[in-house]
Amino acid sequence: MKSIVVDRVSKSYEKVEALKSISFEVAEGELFGLIGPDGAGKTTCIRILTSLLLPDSGKASLVGNDVVKDFHEIRKIVGYMPGRFSLYSDLTVSKNLEFFAGVFGSTIEENYYLIKDIYHMLEPFKDRLAGKLSGGMKQKLALSCALIHKPKVLLLDEPTTGVDAVSRKEFWTMLRRLKAEGITILVSTPYMDEASQCDRIALIDKGQILNINTPKDVVGLFPYKLMGINSPKAFSLLKYLRTTSISRGAFLFGQDIHFSTDRMDLTCEELEESIENAGFTNILVKQIEPTVEDCFMQLMGNNE
């Protein structure tokens, strides 16, 4: 059974096309990632699925409920965590949980088993105002409030943005536990390294879906040979590499350049010699394996 179905959904804000006829499906119990940079259309997509925005065209449904016609039912079965902290800052941790449980006609005790692994980290701060919590603790409280009515579908809009690396790791561990409970999870993120945590991902840019696959298969379909190049003149070298006839993409990744080519027989020594003949020195070239981010950059280039 498909818990989430998005069928040719489009949405514009005046002259800006936020979504351009996107389609994807999420199976029951799947952890699905919507991966893309800021402005890609992730938030618009999630807000349509929560019934907070109306699509201009196309259809979407959650557990068989149309997001336009059945919005009352949608709001009963969905847990939503927006990108910005949106709980009551002037209520304590425990009062926020009590309030959201009450809104859905439930109690903390009734569905405590769903949040106990999260809430035990919050319990020492249960009497603290939510607005006084750290970023990681706000994240955990928001997730607890989204889960307290036992939703069938959990929609999370960039939940790990702005939190530390340890909190990010803890958060994904929590999501895997929730998936084991049978909850369908759609999570958006701009962090490409988080893609591997998902069962499947959709890469999105400028309102268009570029690819839908498992993280492993996304990487496995990368069509070029990939070289990592280190140079003290990285920006100048990047410009030069993009002008070469064998280049199929060159992008900065930290201190290194990731250079892709369809010359599958090209060796590191050949490329290094060619770069040095162009006047660059102190070059280090090595063959590397592509990541989801490499694949995204390649697909994004094809989409321009």
pLDDT at 134 over 90: no
Dist. CA 298–CA 69, nearest whole Å: 39
- Give the distance from CA 190 to its chain's centroid: 5
Helix 234-243 vs helix 268-277: crossing angle, to nearest 10: 100
* Tokens 């809104």 belong to residue: 103
Largest CA distance in the chain: 72
233 and 267 in contact (C-beta within 8 Å)? no
Give Cα separations from 67 to 45, 132, 154 (angstroms): 12, 35, 15
Average pLDDT value over all residues in the chain: 92
Kindly state the tokens that stand for 225: 């040979």
Lowest mean pLDDT among 5-14, 75-84, 240-249: 75-84
Give the per-residue SS3 of 133-175: CCHHHHHHHHHHHHHCCCCCEEEEECCCCCCCHHHHHHHHHHH
Dist. CA 221–CA 265, nearest whole Å: 18
pLDDT in tens, 137-181: 888 889 888 988 889 999 999 988 877 788 788 889 889 988 998
Q: Which of 49, 84, 85, 91 is nearest to 68 (CA)?
A: 49
User: Any residues with CB less than 8 A from the CB of 151 and at least 6 apart, and which?
Assistant: 77, 78, 79, 183
- Give the residue-averaged pLDDT of 246-271: 95
Under DSSP, is residue 111 helix (H, G, I), strand (E, B) or coil? coil
Higher-scoring residue by pLDDT: 112, 189: 189
- Give the residue-averaged pLDDT of 188-213: 95
- Give the distance from CA 249 to its chain's centroid: 23
pLDDT in tens, 69-101: 999 999 899 999 998 888 889 999 999 999 988
Confidence of residue 292 (pLDDT cuts 50, 70, 90): very high
Q: Which of 214, 276, 187, 282 is nearest to 240 (CA)?
A: 276
Dist. CA 23–CA 4, nearest whole Å: 10
Question: What pLDDT shows up at residue 302?
Answer: 64
268 phi/psi in degrees, rounded to 5: -60, -40
